[in-house]
Chain A
Amino acid sequence: MRSLAPTVICMALATRPVKGTAPGKRPSPARSLWDSTIGKKTVMAVSGLIMLGYLVAHMIGNLKVFFGPDEMNAYARFLRTMGEPVLHHEWALWLVRIVLVAAVVGHAVSAYQLSRRDIKARPQKYVHKRKRASYATRTMRWGGIILALFIVWHILDLTTGTVHPGEFEHLHPYQNLIDTFSTWYGNVIYIVAVSAVGLHVRHGFWSAAQTLGVGNARRERLLKLIANTLALVLTLGFVSVPVAVMTGVVS
Chain B
Amino acid sequence: MKLTLRVWRQKNAGADGAMSTYEVDGISQDMSFLEMLDTLNEELILKGEDPVAFDHDCREGICGACSLVINGDAHGPERTTTCQLHMRSFDDGDTIDIEPWRASAFPVVKDLVVDRSAFDRIIQAGGYITAPTGAAPEAHATPVPKPDADFAFEHAECIGCGACVAACPNGSAMLFTSAKVNHLNVLPQGSPERETRVLDMVGQMDDEGFGGCTLTGECATACPKGIPLPSIAAMNKEWLRANRKAAKR
Contacts and interface: CB of A to CB of B under 8 A. Distances in A.
A5 B72 contact: no
Contact of A216 (B63, B159, B203, B234): B234
A84 B156 CA distance: 58
B221 to A, nearest CB: 6
Interface in B39-96: 58, 61-64, 69, 71-73
B97 A132 contact: no
B232 A9 contact: no
A137 interface: yes
Given A117-B212, A121-B211, A122-B170, A2 B156 contact: yes
Contacts of A27: 203
A95 interface: no
Interface string A34-56: 01111111100000000000000
Contacts of B232: 210
Interface stretch (B23-31, B126-134, B138-146): B126-134
Contact of A213 (B121, B217, B233): B233
A3 B62 contact: yes
A132 B218 contact: yes
A35 B206 CA distance: 9
A126 B102 contact: yes
A219 to B, nearest CB: 9
B126 A17 contact: yes
Contact of B63 (A3, A9, A38, A220): A3
B191 interface: no
Interface string A210-242: 111111110010000000000000000000000
Nearest to A137: B214
B199 interface: yes
Contacts of B13: none
Contacts of A17: 124-126, 200
Contacts of A248: none
Given A4-B159, A5-B156, A40-B212, A15 B99 contact: no
A249 interface: no
A42 B241 CA distance: 12
A183 interface: no
A127 to B, nearest CB: 6
Interface in B163-206: 168-172, 180, 183-184, 196, 199-200, 202-206
A1 interface: yes
Interface string A105-141: 0000000001001111111111111101110110010
B247 A29 contact: yes
Contact of A12 (B99, B133, B172, B180): B133
B233 A33 contact: no
Interface in B218-249: 218, 221, 225, 228-230, 232-241, 243-244, 246-247
A38 B236 contact: yes
B99 A126 contact: yes
Size category of the binding interface on chain B: 35 or more
Contacts of B63: 3
A11 interface: yes
B126 A12 contact: no
Contacts of A26: 196, 199-200, 203, 246
Nearest to B130: A12
Contact of B169 (A33, A122, A206, A214): A122
B59 to A, nearest CB: 13
A176 interface: no
A127 B169 contact: no
Nearest to B131: A12
A9 B42 CA distance: 39
A126 B8 CA distance: 10
B141 to A, nearest CB: 15
Contacts of B233: 209-211, 213-216
A23 interface: yes
Given A121-B104, A121-B210, A210-B215, A126 B69 contact: yes
Contacts of A15: 124, 128
A225 to B, nearest CB: 16
A23 B64 CA distance: 31
Given A8-B128, A15-B128, A137-B169, A41 B240 contact: no
7 contacts: A4-B158, A17-B126, A32-B203, A41-B213, A118-B211, A134-B218, A207-B215
Given A212-B236, A213-B241, 18 more contacts: A1-B157, A5-B156, A8-B184, A9-B128, A13-B132, A21-B203, A36-B203, A36-B239, A114-B212, A117-B212, A120-B211, A122-B104, A126-B69, A136-B215, A136-B216, A213-B233, A216-B233, A217-B230
